[in-house]
Amino acid sequence: MLARSAVSLLRPASSAACRHAAPLSTSAPRCEIRKLARLRVVDNSQIGKEAMAEGRPPRVIHVYNKRAVATVGDKVLMAIRGQKRKGLLVGCVKTQHPMSMIPKFDTNNVVLIDDAGTPLGTRIHVPIPNVIRERLQRMSHKKSGDFTKILSLATRFV
Amino acid sequence: MLRRRTRIEIPEFYVGSVLAVTVSDPQAPGKTSRFVGICILREGHGLRATMTLRNAIDQQGVEICYPLYNPTLQKIEVLRLEKRLDEDLRYLRDCPLEYSTFAFDMEPEHAADSGEVPVNPVKVPLRPRPWTWRWERAGMKGLIVPELREDFYERAKKVSEPWHKYDLMREYRRSVPVEDQREIYAEVHEHVQSLETDQRRVRRRRVFVAPKKTS
């Protein structure tokens, strides 16, 4: 829907003939987090706050996943303020399978972490889904790092 | 479905009612998780029937879709029983968060007269565009859509399908016909009689008294 409004702005406004030209065919939005998806940083890290304040949210440049689509609990690599940073997804807009009862959020929320899983911020001010606990525990190995440290930052679980 | 209803009470509620659902969640602290929210959608039929509850927690909109007959659901309470002007409140996603905020410690509100379900005639305003849906085309009665550029309405008129309201077969397919309704109600009626006694029996069986150490 956003694409259509952008296209209509590009067309000349005056001529009636031009206005009713064939519109673009667009498919329904899937709200999946793939490469170049924009995310909302929800911790109080310095770089995250600056990026969100200046209106240039981080963009995903790699998803650490076989499927290349990130969901809750997945690690992503983002470009934020000219730097590459890793992040953990803590909330998705994508509608989940109804039987799973995983919460659906209004924004795609991400928490910035370093390579070992240590978060860059000190607090997460939005609710985190409970399902993330088990997913982070599965991800944490002695060699890869302890990703469950972000759970101690959360103020509210849903 | 009826067997599940002997174990848990699934109360009467509508889209627009505020509910509190307690679910057993092995990953939650205390193994149970409680969520309060307004029912924005009811989908599915039979054992697949689901309801979606929406709430805004810490300025973050959260929605959870609960299958009504999921065995991990422990309790469903209706905190406010009311209807809205629409059967589908998904437009709350594009409205200010104050219209989706309900306190978790909300007390159940008992209606004074248990007759008809009250209809809340509130009309919710939209946030500025972009939206998740073309609300100027949706025709939602409980929504205040701001005035848009005229080419929006021209395009809406072009893609509109005004013949739907005359389509009898469509209406038939979407609803349960009267003949089938009679059969279903007859089947439910025989079970409703024994429902009370079954529920009482289950409640008595469930009470577990921990053994006390004597001497």
CB nearest A125 (choices: B50, B58, B155): B58
The answer on pLDDT for A114 being more than 50 is yes
Indicate the pLDDT class of residue A16, thresholds 50, 70 and 90: very low
Q: For residue A8, what pLDDT is reported? A: 42
Q: Which amino acid is at B161?
A: E
What pLDDT score does A27 carry? 74
pTM attached to this predicted model:
0.85
Min CA distance, A152 vs chain B (Å)? Answer: 13
List the domain boundaries for chain A: 29-153
Q: What's the rounded mean pLDDT across residues A94-114?
A: 94
Return the minimum-mean-pLDDT range out of A40-49, A133-142, B62-71. A133-142
Which position has the higher pLDDT, A41 or A24? A41
Task: Please provide the CATH number assigned to the domain covering A29-153.
Answer: 2.40.150.20
Confidence check: pLDDT of A106 > 80: yes
Residues 91-130 of A with CB under 8 A from B: 91, 95-96, 98-99, 101-107, 109, 125-127, 130
Question: In Å, how far is B154's CA from the nearest CA of chain A?
Answer: 10
Report how far residue B130's alpha carbon sits from residue A37's, in angstroms, rounded to the nearest whole number: 17
Look at residue B176 in the predicted model and tell me its pLDDT. 87
pLDDT, tens digit (0-9, with 9 covering 90-100), for A71-86: 999 999 999 999 999 9
Distances A64 to A5, A35, A83, B57 between C-alpha atoms, Å: 33, 11, 18, 29
Judge contact between B5 and B70, C-beta under 8 A: no
Question: Best mutation site among A25, A38, A41, A104 for testing chain B: the one with the most B CBs within 10 Å?
Answer: A104
pLDDT of residue B214: 83
| pLDDT given at position B193 | 78
**Domain parsing of chain B, residue ranges:** 2-110+119-148, 170-208
pLDDT of residue B126: 96
Q: pLDDT under 50 in chain B at which residues? A: none
Please determine, looking at this structure, whether the domain spanning B2-110+119-148 carries the CATH number 2.10.25.10: no
pLDDT of B205:
67
Q: Is the pLDDT of residue A18 over 50?
A: no
In this prediction, residue A144 carries a pLDDT of: 82
User: Minimal CA–CA distance to B53: which of B79, B27, B26, B24?
Assistant: B79
